[in-house]
C-alpha cells in the first residue's frame, strides 16, 4: 500500500498537473456561480456551503480521474491487478492518495472561498476541518471505487461521473447542511442527523470499496 | 508418488471471448516446471490472449487456469511466483528506471539489496537509470520491462515477444538472460516470431491457429526445422 502511495505522490509532485488544474477549476466554479446567479453579499453568504461543496464535488471527478491516468499509460493497471498484493489494499492506497490530493486542493481553495463569500471560515476552522474531511473522504471513496472499476472500460472518463455523482448526492446534502451549521457557529456535537449521515456514508463506502474491489476490478 | 512432473501451468478448456469473437477456444495445455515453452503462430492466432489468460491479466470466459496447481487469480503468494512481460510496458513514464523498479520491488517484496542495479547492468540500462522512461526508445523500454519481469525472481516467467524491438546486441543480452533463467529451472512461456530464437531458448513449442493449439512438439526438444515445417503446414492449410 505504501509503495502505491509513494509512487502516486512522487508522480504528482513531479508534474503538479492535477493540483494546479483542480485549483483553477475550483476558483472558476466559484466565480461563475457568483456572476451567473448575481448574488448579493447576504445571498452569497447564505449559499456559501453549497458553492463550496459544488466546487469540491465537480473538481473531485477531475482529480480522481487524473490519478488513474498514470496507471493506464503503459498498461500499469494490469500490472497492479496481477501484483502479489491484496486488491483491497490497492483501493485503500488510491483512496489515501485521492484524499490527500483533494485536501491539498481544499487548503488552497479555502482562502479564496473565504474572500469571495465572506464566510467566517477562519473563526470556525477547527470545526470546519472535520466536516471537510468527512465529506472529502466520502467523495473520494465513491470516486476511487468507480474510477478503478471503470479503468478498463472504453468510456471511463464518462463513466466515472455518471456512476459516482448520483451516489454522492446524499453525502453532498449532508456535507452542505453540516457546513452551514458549522459556519453558523454550531459545535460538531450539534450536527445531529447530518453528522451521522456523513459518518455513516464514509464508513459504508470505505468498507464497501475495500471489500468489493476484489470482485469489481477484473481486467 | 507418481512419476508425473509437477506442473507450473495448466489450462483446462480455457476459452476467452471478446464479445462475439472468440480469441481462445477451449485450450488444454500443461507446462511442467522447468519447461521452456514457445508459443508461435500468425498474427491474430491468439498468442497474446493465451499469455494474458495464463498470467491472470485476462480471466478466461470459460474453463480455468491453474498455476503451480492453484487456480488463478489465487492469493498474493501465488501471484508473486509469476513474472509477466506484456505487450504493454507496465512502466510509469514520469518515473525513471530505478524508481520504476524500486516501486515494483516493493510491490513484490524484493528485499535483495542491489537487485535493481544488478538487473540494470545486466540489460545494459545503467546509463538510462536516472532518465524518465517517457524518453526511452521502444527497445530500451522493452529491456526495462524485461528487467521488471525478472526483478522478483519468479518461478514462472511469461513473456510476450520479449525480443521484438531490440537491436541485435540487446536481443543477445535478453536471450542470454532467458537461457540463464531456463538453466536455473525457471519455467518459461513466451511468444516469438523468431524461429531461430525459439529453437535456442525453448524446450518445447506449440503453434496456435485461430485460437486453437494446432501443433505441439511434445516432449521432444523443438528444432528450428520442425517449427518452420509446422508453421508452413498450418498456415498454408488455413
Contact B207, B215 (CB under 8 A): yes
Q: In angstroms, what separates the C-alpha of A101 from chain B's closest C-alpha?
A: 18
pLDDT score at B231: 79
Q: To the nearest whole percent, how much of chain B has pLDDT over 70?
A: 96
Query: With an 8 Å Cβ cutoff, is A214 touching chain B?
Result: no
Mean pLDDT computed over B99-112:
94
Tally of CB atoms within 10 A around B9: 24
Out of B56, B73, B103, the one facing A7 most closely (by C-beta) is: B103
Q: Is B185 exposed, middle or buried (0-12, 13-18, 19+ CB in 10 A)?
A: exposed
Query: With an 8 Å Cβ cutoff, is B93 touching chain A?
Result: yes
What is the greatest pairwise CA distance in chain B?
54
Measure the CA–CA gap between B139 and B119, rounded to whole angstroms: 16
> Three-class SS string for A148-194?
HHHCCCCCHHHHHHHHHHHHHHHHHHHHHHHHHHHHCCCCHHHCHHH
pLDDT score at A152: 64
Asked if B77's CB is within 8 angstroms of A3's CB, the reply is no
Asked if A81's CB is within 8 angstroms of B56's CB, the reply is yes
> Helix, strand or coil for residue A21?
helix
Q: To the nearest whole percent, how much of chain B has pLDDT over 90?
A: 61
**Which residues of chain A neighbour B73 with C-beta distances below 8 Å?**
82
In this model, does residue B220 exceed pLDDT 80?
A: no
Residue recorded with cell 540487446: B170
Query: With an 8 Å Cβ cutoff, is A50 touching chain B?
Result: no
Residue of A nearest to B81 (CA): A84
Distances (CA, A) of B103 to A5, B80, B165, B225: 10, 15, 25, 43
pLDDT grade, residue B234 (50/70/90)? confident
Calculate the average pLDDT of chain B: 89
Minimum mean pLDDT range among A161-175, B19-33, B210-224? B210-224
Stretches in chain A below the pLDDT threshold 50: none
Contact B67, B140 (CB under 8 A): no
Calculate the average pLDDT of chain A: 88
Asked if B84's CB is within 8 angstroms of A84's CB, the reply is no
Measure the CA–CA gap between A200 and B19, rounded to whole angstroms: 39
Which residues make Cβ contacts (< 8 Å) with residue B121, sequence separation at least 6?
none
Kindly report the backbone phi and psi dihedral angles of residue B85, in degrees, each rounded to the nearest multiple of 5, phi listed first.
-125, 115
pLDDT grade, residue B1 (50/70/90)? very low
Choose, out of A82, A86, A89, the residue to mutate when testing the contact with B (most B CBs < 10 Å): A82
Out of B55, B73, B88, the one facing A74 most closely (by C-beta) is: B88
pLDDT tens digit sequence for A160-207: 788 888 899 999 999 999 999 999 988 988 888 999 999 999 999 999
Residue ranges covered by each domain of chain A: 2-218
- Please give the grid coordinates belonging to residue A74: 503503459
Mean pLDDT computed over B191-206:
86
| Strand order from edge to edge, sheet including B62-67 | B21-32, B7-18, B62-67, B70-71
pLDDT score at B2: 52
Distances (CA, A) of B196 to A201, B159, B164, B189, B234: 60, 17, 13, 16, 19
pLDDT score at A219: 53
Q: Using CB atoms and an 8 Å cut-off, which of residues 56-95 of chain A contact chain B? A: 70, 73-76, 78-86
Asked if A6's CB is within 8 angstroms of B89's CB, the reply is no
- What pairs with residue B31 in β-bridges? B9
Contact B213, B29 (CB under 8 A): yes
Asked if B106's CB is within 8 angstroms of A3's CB, the reply is yes
Mean pLDDT computed over B42-66:
93
Out of B84, B88, B92, the one facing A70 most closely (by C-beta) is: B92
pLDDT tens digit sequence for B58-95: 999 999 999 999 988 778 889 999 999 998 999 999 99
- Please give the grid coordinates belonging to residue B149: 519481469
Mean pLDDT computed over B202-229:
83
pLDDT score at B163: 86
pLDDT score at B101: 96
Contact A58, A196 (CB under 8 A): no
Query: With an 8 Å Cβ cutoff, is A7 touching chain B?
Result: yes
Residue of B nearest to A1 (CA): B107
**Which residues of chain A neighbour B78 with C-beta distances below 8 Å?**
84
pLDDT score at B38: 92
**Which residues of chain A neighbour B110 with C-beta distances below 8 Å?**
none
Asked if B108's CB is within 8 angstroms of A70's CB, the reply is no
Amino acid at each position: 500500500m505504501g509503495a502505491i502511495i509513494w509512487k502516486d505522490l512522487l508522480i504528482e509532485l513531479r508534474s503538479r498537473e492535477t493540483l494546479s488544474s483542480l485549483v483553477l477549476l475550483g476558483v472558476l466554479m466559484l466565480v461563475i456561480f457568483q456572476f451567473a446567479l448575481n448574488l448579493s453579499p447576504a445571498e452569497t453568504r447564505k449559499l456559501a456551503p453549497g458553492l463550496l461543496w459544488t466546487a469540491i464535488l465537480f473538481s473531485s471527478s477531475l482529480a480522481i480521474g487524473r490519478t488513474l491516468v498514470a496507471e493506464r499509460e503503459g498498461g500499469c493497471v494490469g500490472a497492479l491487478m496481477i501484483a502479489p498484493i491484496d486488491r483491497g489494499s490497492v483501493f485503500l492506497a488510491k483512496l489515501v492518495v485521492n484524499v490527500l490530493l483533494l485536501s491539498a486542493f481544499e487548503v488552497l481553495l479555502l482562502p479564496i472561498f473565504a474572500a469571495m463569500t465572506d464566510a467566517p471560515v477562519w473563526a470556525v476552522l477547527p470545526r470546519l476541518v472535520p466536516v471537510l474531511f468527512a465529506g472529502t473522504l466520502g467523495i473520494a471513496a465513491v470516486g476511487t471505487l468507480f474510477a478503478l472499476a471503470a479503468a478498463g472500460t472504453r468510456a471511463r472518463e464518462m463513466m466515472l461521473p455518471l456512476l459516482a455523482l448520483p451516489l454522492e448526492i446524499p453525502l453532498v446534502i449532508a456535507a452542505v447542511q453540516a457546513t452551514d451549521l458549522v459556519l453558523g457557529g454550531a459545535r460538531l456535537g450539534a450536527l445531529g442527523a447530518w453528522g451521522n449521515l456523513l459518518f455513516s456514508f464514509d464508513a459504508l463506502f470505505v468498507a464497501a470499496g475495500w471489500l468489493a474491489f476484489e470482485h469489481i476490478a477484473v481486467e | 508418488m507418481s512419476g508425473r512432473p509437477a506442473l507450473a501451468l495448466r489450462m483446462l478448456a480455457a476459452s476467452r471471448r471478446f464479445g462475439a469473437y472468440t480469441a481462445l477456444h477451449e485450450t488444454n495445455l500443461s507446462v511442467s516446471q522447468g519447461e521452456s515453452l514457445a508459443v508461435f503462430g500468425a498474427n491474430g492466432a491468439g498468442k497474446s490472449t493465451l499469455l494474458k489468460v495464463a498470467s491472470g491479466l485476462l480471466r478466461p470466459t470459460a474453463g480455468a487456469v491453474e498455476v503451480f496447481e492453484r487456480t488463478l487469480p489465487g492469493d498474493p503468494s501465488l501471484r508473486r511466483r509469476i513474472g509477466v512481460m506484456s505487450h504493454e510496458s507496465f512502466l510509469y513514464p514520469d518515473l525513471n528506471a530505478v524508481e520504476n523498479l524500486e516501486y515494483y520491488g516493493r510491490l513484490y517484496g524484493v528485499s535483495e539489496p542491489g537487485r535493481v542495479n544488478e538487473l540494470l547492468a545486466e540489460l545494459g540500462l545503467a546509463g538510462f537509470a536516472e532518465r524518465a522512461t517517457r524518453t526511452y526508445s521502444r527497445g530500451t523500454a522493452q529491456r526495462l520491462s524485461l528487467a521488471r519481469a525478472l526483478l522478483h525472481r519468479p518461478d514462472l516467467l511469461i513473456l510476450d515477444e520479449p525480443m521484438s524491438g531490440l537491436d541485435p546486441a540487446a536481443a543477445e543480452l535478453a536471450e542470454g538472460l532467458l537461457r540463464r533463467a531456463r538453466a536455473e529451472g525457471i519455467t518459461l512461456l513466451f511468444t516469438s516470431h523468431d524461429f531461430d530464437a525459439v529453437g535456442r531458448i525453448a524446450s518445447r513449442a506449440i503453434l496456435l491457429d485461430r485460437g486453437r493449439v494446432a501443433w505441439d512438439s511434445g516432449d521432444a526438444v523443438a528444432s528450428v526445422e520442425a517449427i518452420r515445417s509446422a508453421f508452413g503446414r498450418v498456415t498454408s492449410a488455413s
